[in-house]
């Protein structure tokens, strides 16, 4: 259970609970006794950020940056708790009671699922800049040094004997981006002949050795467990792996990929209950500041600030051809077409 401490004139929930117990006992002895202590706690706000797998390290650093800024600007201490997992699974956890104040998920559709439950107000995508996507990424291949299987593009993944690691689109947002990037490549090869595209995708997924529930789990399978010849990965995960294991891996950028736009939103129902709306708003707005945008680049996400992105031109391949979710009619249509139960992914994976 996540406890959220409330700022301003309200007593923190845990302090209020403790006070009630003490009054029932008829005294305040041994119950965290001083009014000064309660007043001090009232200046602490606890915020829960429910995010997807690969953002752990970035948000650990960002939380330090934000909390230092907020305390200096407003005299309020913010304590941010992080929760991570496959993006789709994380969205469902919020619906089922994980009391997120903000969600920072892998794709807009996962936030829409929460909106559809009445927990996030309509129009959330317009609440922050760039469709409420403060950073972007794309999909690349991570191979072991030497690239023994000579993997250069999507069609090489179909070769006999190539073992692929990729997460499951039913639980992972990154896996959905992987699938759509591969589909777009096949569309270009086969002139949108759906039968041939599906056959291409069947062959690709027939080579999948392990399908983890989330992107970080897939990275662990490939890097730490040593399984597979190629990991279809978030660019940021691949770059981080290269930094962590110098000379052991190579990044292969395919001829076409996709502009992956992770989305952020305030969980309006929860911040109303927790009295954290003001801090939650500031937490997501601050992602667009120059300081945060540079931190985003340092953790291998692509800043949406074009000027700051250009500062990282030696890190990212800024010339790769990228399709976008608009090429698939937007996320609602894409999810219905490809990823809901009995849609195209189930059709090709189970056949």
- pLDDT beyond 50 at 50: yes
pTM attached to this predicted model: 0.86
Question: Three-class SS of residue 263?
Answer: strand
Q: How high is the pLDDT of residue 269?
A: 98
CB 178 within 8 A of CB 256: no
Quick one: pLDDT band at residue 192, thresholds 50, 70, 90? confident
- pLDDT beyond 70 at 228: yes
- pLDDT beyond 80 at 41: no
| Helix residue spans in the chain (DSSP H) | 13-25, 35-41, 56-74, 87-95, 108-116, 129-132, 173-190, 194-206, 215-223, 235-244, 268-274, 277-285, 290-298, 306-310, 331-334, 344-349
Measured at the alpha carbon of residue 81, what is the angle toward residues 78 and 87, in degrees to the nearest 5? Answer: 135
What is the average pLDDT across 255-284?
98
Average pLDDT, the chain: 90
% of the chain with per-residue pLDDT over 70: 88
Beta-strand pair 256-258/263-266: unpaired
Cα separation, 204 vs 182, in Å, equals: 9
- pLDDT beyond 80 at 231: yes
- Give me the count of residues in the chain: 351
Cα separation, 214 vs 175, in Å, equals: 8
Q: How high is the pLDDT of residue 42?
A: 57
Q: How high is the pLDDT of residue 165?
A: 98
Q: How high is the pLDDT of residue 6?
A: 28
Q: Which of 59, 55, 108, 79 is nearest to 292 (CA)?
A: 59
Which backbone phi and psi does 143 adopt, to 5 degrees? -125, 165
Quick one: pLDDT band at residue 209, thresholds 50, 70, 90? very high
Q: How far is CA 206 from the centre of its chain?
A: 27
Q: Following CA atoms 81, 272, 275, 127 in sequence, which dihedral angle do they give, to the nearest 10 degrees?
A: 70
């Amino acid at each position: 259970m996540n406890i959220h401490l409330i700022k301003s004139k309200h007593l923190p929930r845990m302090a209020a609970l403790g006070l009630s117990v003490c009054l029932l006992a008829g005294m305040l002895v041994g119950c965290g006794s001083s009014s000064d202590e309660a007043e001090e706690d009232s200046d602490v706000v606890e915020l829960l950020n429910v995010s997807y797998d690969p953002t752990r390290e970035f948000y650990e650093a960002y939380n330090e940056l934000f909390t230092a800024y907020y305390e200096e600007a407003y005299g309020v201490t913010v304590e941010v708790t992080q929760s991570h997992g496959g993006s789709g699974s994380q969205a469902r956890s919020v619906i089922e009671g994980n009391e997120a104040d903000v969600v920072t998920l892998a794709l807009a559709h996962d936030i829409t699922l929460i909106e559809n439950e009445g927990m996030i107000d309509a129009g959330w995508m317009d609440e922050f800049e760039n469709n409420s996507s403060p950073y972007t990424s794309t999909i690349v291949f991570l191979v072991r040094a030497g690239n023994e299987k000579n993997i250069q593009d999507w069609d090489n993944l179909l070769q006999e004997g190539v073992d692929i690691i990729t997460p499951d689109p039913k639980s992972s947002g990154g896996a959905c981006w992987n699938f759509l990037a591969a589909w777009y490549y096949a569309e270009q090869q086969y002139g949108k002949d759906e039968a041939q595209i599906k056959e291409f995708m069947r062959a690709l997924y027939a080579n999948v050795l392990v399908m983890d529930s989330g992107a970080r789990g897939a990275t662990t399978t490939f890097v730490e467990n040593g399984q597979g010849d190629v990991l279809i990965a978030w660019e940021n995960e691949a770059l981080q792996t290269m930094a962590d294991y110098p000379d052991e891996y190579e990044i292969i950028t395919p001829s076409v990929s996709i502009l992956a736009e992770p989305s952020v939103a305030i969980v309006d129902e929860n911040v109303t209950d927790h009295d954290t709306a003001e801090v939650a708003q500031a937490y997501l707005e601050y992602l667009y500041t120059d300081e945060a945008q540079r931190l985003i680049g340092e953790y291998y996400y692509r800043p949406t600030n074009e000027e700051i992105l250009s500062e990282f031109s030696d890190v990212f391949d800024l010339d790769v051809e990228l399709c976008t979710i608009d090429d698939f009619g937007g996320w609602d249509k894409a999810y219905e077409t490809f990823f809901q139960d009995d849609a195209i992914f189930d059709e090709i994976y189970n056949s």
